[in-house]
Structure 1
Amino acid sequence: MPLKEHLLEIRKRIVLASVGVVLGAVLGWILYTPIFDLLQQPLLDAAAERGSLTTTNFGGVATAIDMRVRVSLFLGVLVSCPWWLYQLWAFVNPGLTRTERRYAFGFLGAAVPLFLGGAALAWYVLPRAVVILTEFTPTGAANLIDAQGYLTFVMQFILAFGVAFLLPVVMVTLNLLGVVRGSTWQGGWRWAILLSFVFAAVITPTPDALTMFWVALPICALYFAAAGICLLHDRRVDRRNAALLEA
């Protein structure tokens, strides 16, 4: 495919993915109040546990409307993840053979639960992070937390986990395209483990090592599973090429 057609295809997929996110954001706009209450709940639970006054504060004139737009887009990304992940697959699809398309479609079908699974893990870790971050408030003092900063932190936290769990999809897709062989992924396992733990240490704002391990271990497991799939695919391709050479 010529470069111009590639660029047009990228633009098409980005536009379609954006439309899906916007439509999902409309749902987020309608459900803003319960979603806001849900995102704020870890903070309220932490305040109740400590017996202190902790609440979110909308400090600017336009902060409330700004946060409604951001929360709506956040829900739009979550709700429309099957659509924009499909657009990613549709962009890669023309470069694959018929057999490779079947493998790619099957594995990309796992991308949605992987993304949502990462977001769910982030939601599981979040309450503990909020408790630890707010426990430094002096006794008897009120903690008026900036709503914009808090909600941005929560949404980025959840989306970062979701994107991190898409790592196997990227690895297998690059392998199916012939860009990276499975042996390369296998050889880089030490760097993968190191980067997984670095990511876990950065993204989890808690000082305990246990939380970091709970975050890093699933990412490492997904990496090794994807590397195994890539190795199996390379073996099939090598056997097929060897048979063609003998013929």
Structure 2
Amino acid sequence: MADFVDRARTAVTERAELPGMSLLEHLEELRRRIVRSILFIVGGFLVAWFFHEKIYAFMQEPITLALSRHHMPTQLVYHNPIDPFNLYLKISFMGGCILAAPFVLYQVWLFISPGLYQNEKRYVVPFMAATIGLFLAGAYFGYRWVYPGSLDFLLTFDKDFRPLIEINEYTDLFLTVILGLGITFELPILIMFLSIFGIVSPRFLWKNIRYAILIIFIIAAVITPTPDVLTMCVFALPMLSLYLISIAVSYMVHPAQRKKRAEKEAAS
């Protein structure tokens, strides 16, 4: 831990020595990026609201199919007349955030790019593509395999009961699983940034892999909708694979390795 803190302090100090904007200019730039990000999210919300019924039909499909396979009523219920309206607001907001994510991420990149070295700024395209691609891959993995499998497992215990599945509770479970996996798949992006700034190294990541495995299984236990070990492993194994990929990413973008490649190219 002390080594990690020292690396972070060194990286921050090195960036502080780079010529750049003053504190007030940084704050003004931050305000500008936040305002633009909010405008993108509002625009995404309006677009998602126009398709809110189709979005919810897409979200409801896994539970509808699972209930049909178990010969149970497929219509969900609500307790308060305002619940459907609030539900559509929620899913429209989440949909708007997802639609606006590429534009918001670009604003984040524009804010941090002045603190990067010139040769580090070329990572903007891989950053955008990998961030969006990994999130969609995690969300699809959850929607296509993990979530339907979890619902089938849970409904096997409901044979003696009549299900009254409330729309808000179902939506919260859906978002927890799908967004949780989507965000979890962003691990290589996090490692990439930490490695670019020299805060972590491939050696550090490999040396502490046993702690990473423990943390991964703890996270999997938190976001897993079922209590069985098999489903937790289904969550944990992709996360562990992503951690191993992150070590390779760290090796590629770490300053020490980039310096060695630059010296080798200069010598040749």
TM-score range, shorter chain: 0.7 to 0.9
CA distance in 2, matches of 1:190, 1:13: 38
Q: How does 1:206-225 map to 2 (within 5 A)?
A: 206-225=226-245
Counterpart for residue 234 of structure 1:
255
Name the aligned partner's letter for residue 224 of structure 1.
L
TM-score by length of 1: 0.86
Deviation at 1:97, TM superposition (A): 0.9
Find out whether 1:13 has 2:10 as its counterpart.
no
CA, structure 1 residues 219+5, in 2 after alignment: closer, same or farther (shift >3 Å)? Answer: farther
- Provide structure 2 residue ranges, at least 5 long, that are not aligned to the other structure: 1-20
Counterpart for residue 120 of structure 1:
140
Name the stretch that deviates more: 178-187 or 197-206: 178-187
CA distance in 2, matches of 1:150, 1:25: 21
What is the RMSD of the two structures over their aligned residues, measured on CA atoms? Answer: 2.4
Counterpart for residue 181 of structure 1:
201
Question: What percent identity do the matched residue pairs reach?
Answer: 33
8 Å Cα contact 2:48-2:92 kept in structure 1? yes
Find out whether 1:133 has 2:149 as its counterpart.
no
CA, structure 1 residues 158+11, in 2 after alignment: closer, same or farther (shift >3 Å)? Answer: farther
- Provide structure 1 residue ranges, at least 5 long, that are not aligned to the other structure: none
8 Å Cα contact 1:117-1:162 kept in structure 2? yes
> What does the per-residue CA deviation read over 1:79-112, in whole Å, with 9 as the maximum and x for residues that have no partner?
2221222222222211111111113542443111
Counterpart for residue 62 of structure 2:
42
CA distance in 2, matches of 1:9, 1:73: 25
CA distance in 1, matches of 2:207, 2:28: 36
Q: How does 1:1-247 map to 2 (within 5 A)?
A: 1-124=21-144, 125-139=146-160, 141-232=161-252, 233-239=254-260
TM-score by length of 2: 0.80
Deviation at 1:39, TM superposition (A): 1.0
CA distance in 2, matches of 1:123, 1:16: 31
CA distance in 2, matches of 1:26, 1:58: 25
